[in-house]
A and B are shown apart, each in its own frame.
Chain A
């Protein structure tokens, strides 16, 4: 396939090279589930900084925060799921080192939906009465023009410069297929972004999609996608059902290392100082030691 045919294949480093400092970047997945970790690791290898990150937060947020790449985070939480609290996120917040727009998780969904629909906001009941309005003084309410006159929160559009997501399969044109039980919000992230980069376990021929799952598994459409990255194991150490589950032993080691600066320096040196192939080799070594 030629570039004229719409071939969007590129490496993770090529995708990240198209991003710029200060961008607002949405990261797909949820908590420690199907996160585009290979793309996040490529960001760690780059010099990108001053990012605004929008995420249903997991170790993607933790790694980027630990590396000092995030100026501002838009999120409802950060968790490792089986480990309730994301340690780097926690530490950065307790240092006062992270600007946070803390929203209810449905507000993140509606903010992305507003951006995908090119609307300035969407009205929701969520947030009323809570301190989400206190800690986000920029949030406004809107009053229904109809007889009920109800006051609702106007969730602002969360327009993204770029989205990073990871799915099970994609073709070279940018169509993405998820095969697990939950799509999360990866389609919304892509639709809310000017440019979306989709990594996948395997790049397949378009005609192979049908054998893997029904049409409703075709989550991401190519008209929203700028680049496709083949990244086997690209969600590691988060889960990527049904291709693999979460690497709990590795995540535990991550969380433990994150609690101590010296241990973290050693962890980062061992796993995050080389390219993706080096990462996979180091992870394989780690798995052998535990076996």
Chain B
């Protein structure tokens, strides 16, 4: 049962949960509207000490008051200092958590040029990172990414103990499930299936073998107070429904 919540609303709460227990760090939802709603929901409920920006250079409170200044240069310093948990998008993700937002195909002459590596290389070796994938598919979840922008567990381990020490991929939230890298060999596994989604649905939409425990739980659905915040305060226009299909 979803308690009347839509799939998009389940995803908002699943994104919010990524920041549970993060403490007094910057929540940077840079991968879409649903993670942005999730970060704000977390701050207004169970993670009140999170720092949030206005999407530009200002740090703002849950009520929108300016409490600080974070232009790009200070954002980069904060990222290097580790007190940040970003949720990025991913055009491709592999089973070790390597992420690509740069290009599809051969880097020398890509089949499809995307935005570029942006800050993914620095983010992933300096502070916790999660990913949001609004359409879970074999195009995204691939055996090998074409360009490693965000560093996965295998590459972090190979890069040395200091890199591995600061490297952590907290979770991957998709329109079908919540995933993490909690297996002994740090490969992707399903943590919970969204209401109405079968394990086979997720396996069929994933381009590599995926660990789905037999007793895998359902993703928690939003509570009444959370639904009210999402619908009345954070996204009254319902734009979240455009980012997540049905």
Which of B69, B115, B159 has the most CB atoms of chain A within a 10 A radius of its CB? B115
Contact of A105 among B109, B111, B122, B150 (CB under 8 A): B122
Distance, CA A135 to CA B102, complexed state (A): 12
Interface size class of A (residues with CB under 8 A): 35 or more
Give Cα distance in the complex from A128 to B161, angstroms. Answer: 12
Contact of B116 among A77, A130, A150 (CB under 8 A): A77
- Contact present for A129 and B124 (CB under 8 Å): yes
CB-based nearest B residue for A178: B71
List B contacts of A90 (CB < 8 A). Answer: 112-113
Known: A104-B121, A109-B73. A129 touches B151 (CB 8 A): yes
For the complex, give the distance between the alpha carbons of A103 and B113 in Å.
15
With a cutoff of 8 Å between Cβ atoms, the chain A residues found around residue B102 in the complex are 102, 131
Are the CB atoms of B71 and A132 closer together than 8 Å? no
Q: Given A127-B121, A182-B72, is A94 in contact with B110 using a C-beta cutoff of 8 Å? A: yes
Q: Report, as a range, how many residues of chain B touch the other chain.
A: 35 or more
CA distance A128 to B151 in the complex (A): 8
A135 touches B147 (CB 8 A): yes
The number of inter-chain residue pairs (CB within 8 angstroms) is 133
A residues in contact with B147, CB < 8 Å: 131, 135
Q: Give the dominant DSSP class at A's interface.
A: loop
A207 contacts chain B at the CB level, 8 A cutoff: no
- A interface vs B, CB < 8 Å? 30, 57, 75-79, 84-85, 89-91, 93-96, 102-107, 109, 124-132, 134-135, 148, 150-151, 181-185
**Interchain CB contact under 8 A, A126 and B160:** no
Which of the residues B57, B119, B124, B160 comes within 8 Å of A150, measured between beta carbons? Answer: B160
Chain A CB within 8 A of B135 CB: no
Inter-chain CA distance A96–B73, complex, in Å, is 32
| 27 sampled A-B residue pairs with Cβ under 8 A | A57-B116, A76-B117, A76-B118, A93-B113, A94-B112, A102-B102, A102-B107, A104-B117, A105-B76, A106-B79, A107-B122, A125-B126, A128-B125, A128-B159, A130-B117, A130-B120, A130-B125, A130-B149, A130-B150, A131-B107, A132-B117, A135-B107, A135-B147, A181-B71, A182-B57, A183-B71, A184-B71
